[in-house]
Amino acid sequence: MIKNAPFKFAEFENITIKAGSGGYFDKIFSSKTGDYEYINNQDSLVKQKVKLSKDDLLYLHRKAVDLGFWNMSKDMIADTSGKSPRYFIEYDYQRKKKIVEIDAAYNGDMKVKGAALELIETINKTINIAADKNK
């Protein structure tokens, strides 16, 4: 991946991630508010506050740089029916923002798809570790 990052961590403001299928996001997190909502194994909506540390945010910023997030296409959608799992990632900075939406059925550049899915996995893992600390 090309490591071109026009976004600087000093200007970082927020990460938002959403996941779901069927045109509905059943997992949503915003680092700005700390709001984390998801559907658990019992089909119940769970709402909690999760605070990511400055180190967590720096790690996620650097991971996005390493994976070439800023060079990814905004829309990597293949399944227009909305039945395929879909992910939405938004990195907000003071002067710019980058949004990528991808679904599991995307059949474009597999290297880019893999990088996007790796970033999603990394963000989710970081959120889950922080959520466990907040319990």
Model confidence over 65-110: pLDDT tens digits?
A: 999 998 899 999 887 777 889 999 999 999 899 999 999 889 888 9
* Mean predicted confidence (pLDDT) in 27-56: 94
Are 76 and 104 spatial neighbours (Cβ–Cβ below 8 Å)?
A: no
CB atoms near residue 19 (< 10 Å): 18
Q: What per-residue confidence (pLDDT) applies to 22?
A: 72
2 pLDDT higher than 70: no
Q: What percent of the chain has pLDDT over 90?
A: 66
Where residue 23 falls among pLDDT bands split at 50, 70, 90? confident
* Mean predicted confidence (pLDDT) in 25-36: 95
d(CA 31, CA 25): 17
Q: How far is CA 43 from CA 74, 98, 104, in A?
A: 31, 31, 22
d(CA 18, CA 79): 17
Q: What per-residue confidence (pLDDT) applies to 135?
A: 67
